[in-house]
Structure 1
Amino acid sequence: MDKKKAAAPLVCHGHSRPVVDLFYSPITPDGFFLISASKDSNPMLRNGGTGDWIGTFEGHKGAVWCCVLDKPAFRAASASADFSAKLWDALTGDELHSFEHKHIVRACAFSEDTHYLLTGGFEKILRIYDLNRPDAPPREVDKSPGSIRTLAWLHSDQTILSSCSDMGGVRLWDVRTGNIVRTLETKSAVTSAEVSQDGRYITTADGSTIKFWDANHFGLVKSYDMPCNMESASLEPKYGNKFIAGGEDLWVHVFDFHTGAEIACNKGHHGPVHCVRFSPGGESYASGSEDGTIRIWQTPNHNEDDPFVANGPSGEGKDVAAEVAEKVEALDLTDEKKQPGDDEGSKTDV
């Protein structure tokens, strides 16, 4: 199968150190937006379609590991090696609040209703801050078994998903009880965990494997071995028929969701790819690299005539949900075993 050559990407300069996280807003009346986190300590906001720089959030004193926007893209949040998570006004760039921690903050996430901010990091504690009362002490969820690497909300803010830097597996927490209710087993530490736009799938990257899980029943839907260690993966949100992955080989790969076959391979970065994310409409996707640049690529064969619908080919007789149901019983929920992990660095990571 011939792989289509992708059109030249939009190259977004501005960061002076590696880009380690990217996040797209949903589509808003003003379009959609892309926020980037970098070890240079300055998260940046861009037009999601054109890549044009809008502004820089200034105030962190250390590497910024994670950045997010709320649903209307009015507020941003960032997690940093300076032992803080910050809340920003995305319209003015002003710092609204700084949530102080006792160690590196690795991840943050707005709740679906945008009223809460979730943080986690080297302290191994999940904290939930009430953004209507930012000065109030946060609710602390039970301790994580390892240093927290990724966080996400699902099930209308009733469940929290987390992964650790130093061990495999994805843990699912019941927000009401604060307990881990299930663990999705992986061999290596999960470096990327994304909940699909329709809330049906969890996409994870662990080592050289990309996995897709049913977000409601937690069965393993697909698992693909990659040509190298992949740090990040993202599922196309409109049709669900493609996914992207990036990692240590410096390339951004596009794969067929149903077969795992590679559709395209985008070359251009000059360092490992740390993060990849699809735009909310799926027509493009962004990659952030060790080389300090963000590249925005056009999705191959992305048009309204695409024969695939959100959760499988329109002519497919066997529903994906049925496939998931067959695999749920085989889900392994054994105790976590610690895996070697990388250290994200000092307080300033300089």
Structure 2
Amino acid sequence: MGDATLRNREQMYRMVISQLLYDGYETLAVNLGKTVNTSLDCPPSNKLMRITQLGLQLDSEHQETRSVIDTVAPGIGIDLEFDTDVQTIAPEAALYETCYVTAHKGPCRAAAWNRDGNLVATGSDDASIKVLDVERMLAKSATPAAILASETAQQNMENHPVIRTLYDHIEEVTCLDFHPSIQILASGSKDYSVKLFDFSKPSVKRAFKSIQEAETVRCLSFHPSGDFLLVGTQHPTLRLYDVNTCQCYVASNPDEQHTAPVTAVQFCPNANIYASCSKDGTIKIWDGVSNKCVNTFKNAHDGNEVCSVTFARNSKYLLSSGKDSLVKLWEISTSRSLITYTGAGSGKQNHRTQAVFNHSEDYVLFPDEKTTSLCCWDSRNAERQKLLSLGHNNVVRCIVHSPTSPGFITCSDDFRARFWYRRSNTD
């Protein structure tokens, strides 16, 4: 039997195993893997079903109408229906290096990237917000110390990575999000307010618009159009605000709401739905038009508080993390957890943090609370990569990855935010 035939047979067995996992038949999948002596690192996928459907469409006895999803080519990012065997080319987290460190006067608790990946904002317990230019941070780290020391005060100001420092909150800044198309930054705070800053003007320090809430603001997310802002607070009820009028909307059925404080919210990229999670241990999926809850993942992390939710670019999957120190990838259409990423700590976390994709969605990143190191997994098969020591002297409370390049920001209770980057010319 030739090598090509053996490879084809191995691939066929892997697709059968992944289909069994996809359909929930874990025991059968394990037994088949042992019988045919095939590796079980096959993430759940319905790839075999799609191949079968395509074959039936070519069969004269099974002429079926092709749906739109059957003719759409896979896009960038994770898609287990098409790319379970993709070779990742993006750098793993262990190859990133610290390029810049900025310090607040209190614990650093929040961060956000803009959609182009050229700006990042950090928020602190000291009530301040910093907006940093990514190119300036990279240039600063690449400039020899002797040249930096010889810069004049004017040159230092012109080249300084912190391009704006915003002050309009009176308590801790808990969350940040950039408007998708214009230079507006939204922030939420423990002072019960949401602020909108126009950071296009260098002299402006204060917000041009403020929304007063009845509880501590914990999370927020702009609609992809920028016209609406989703806000989660200490109160279980989600709020949706019209950015222009500040009109507030809530779901019509109170029974659909969470039963404990909201910990994270996010619109999916195509704006059809949005997701929320809570201290009540649930993840909820909401219709982006009707504002109604269309699905609830109960006990998403075995009853533990769910800390973060992040959509994949294609809006098919949702990445969640919980205080059980686990990260899970959910398939939204079937409401099932397809992959669990394990090994980030051995016990329950004390503080919330996020699980995030890297810019290509080849990897999942999640800070280990006890060791202040970064765990990294292959997003498609949950294979653990090398740990990255984050260099913080206290717990990492926030991590956000650039949407466009190999860079991320970590925020810590040691008052610092670190910018990590993988240069293309680094060995």
TM-score normalised by the chain length of structure 1: 0.77
CA contact (8 A) 1:160 1:174 kept: yes
Is 1:9 the counterpart of 2:98? The answer is: yes
| TM-aligned CA deviation for residue 176 of structure 1 | 4.1
Identity %: 19
Is 1:219 the counterpart of 2:318? The answer is: no
**Whole-angstrom CA distance in 2 between matches of 1:247 and 1:38:** 21
* Number of the residue aligned with 1:233: 355
**Whole-angstrom CA distance in 2 between matches of 1:151 and 1:4:** 25
Alignment of 1:144-293 (within 5 A): 144-154=258-268, 156-164=270-278, 166-184=279-297, 185-187=300-302, 188-207=304-323, 208-228=325-345, 229=349, 231-238=353-360, 240-248=361-369, 249-257=371-379, 258-293=381-416
Instruction: List alignment gaps of at least 5 residues for structure 2.
Output: 1-91, 138-160
Structure that is richer in helix per residue = 2
| TM-aligned CA deviation for residue 116 of structure 1 | 0.7
| TM-aligned CA deviation for residue 197 of structure 1 | 3.5
CA contact (8 A) 1:6 1:266 kept: no
| TM-aligned CA deviation for residue 101 of structure 1 | 0.9
| TM-aligned CA deviation for residue 66 of structure 1 | 0.3
Q: Which amino acid aligns with 1:126?
A: L
CA gap 1:4/1:278 in 2 versus in 1, 3 angstroms: closer
| TM-aligned CA deviation for residue 98 of structure 1 | 0.6
* Number of the residue aligned with 1:139: 249
CA contact (8 A) 1:256 1:263 kept: no
**Whole-angstrom CA distance in 2 between matches of 1:73 and 1:113:** 11
CA contact (8 A) 1:196 1:237 kept: no
**Whole-angstrom CA distance in 1 between matches of 2:240 and 2:217:** 13
**Whole-angstrom CA distance in 1 between matches of 2:333 and 2:220:** 22
CA RMSD of aligned residues (A): 2.4
| TM-aligned CA deviation for residue 73 of structure 1 | 4.7
**Whole-angstrom CA distance in 2 between matches of 1:131 and 1:147:** 23
| TM-aligned CA deviation for residue 217 of structure 1 | 4.3
Structure with the bigger RCO (C-alpha within 8 Å, sep 6+) is: 1
| TM-aligned CA deviation for residue 77 of structure 1 | 0.4
* Number of the residue aligned with 2:107: 18
**Whole-angstrom CA distance in 1 between matches of 2:184 and 2:337:** 34
**Whole-angstrom CA distance in 2 between matches of 1:20 and 1:138:** 26
* Number of the residue aligned with 1:66: 175
**Whole-angstrom CA distance in 1 between matches of 2:106 and 2:238:** 28
Task: Give the match's secondary structure for 1:9.
Answer: strand
| TM-aligned CA deviation for residue 72 of structure 1 | 2.4
**Whole-angstrom CA distance in 2 between matches of 1:64 and 1:42:** 7
Runs of 4+ in 1 over 4 A off after TM superposition: none
CA contact (8 A) 1:21 1:37 kept: yes
CA contact (8 A) 1:285 1:298 kept: yes
Instruction: List alignment gaps of at least 5 residues for structure 1.
Output: 304-350
Task: Give the match's secondary structure for 1:222.
Answer: strand
* Number of the residue aligned with 2:4: none
**Whole-angstrom CA distance in 2 between matches of 1:259 and 1:160:** 25
Task: Give the match's secondary structure for 2:194.
Answer: strand
* Number of the residue aligned with 2:420: 297
Is 1:76 the counterpart of 2:197? The answer is: no
**Whole-angstrom CA distance in 2 between matches of 1:64 and 1:13:** 16
| TM-aligned CA deviation for residue 24 of structure 1 | 1.0
Task: Give the match's secondary structure for 2:226.
Answer: coil
CA contact (8 A) 1:197 1:237 kept: no
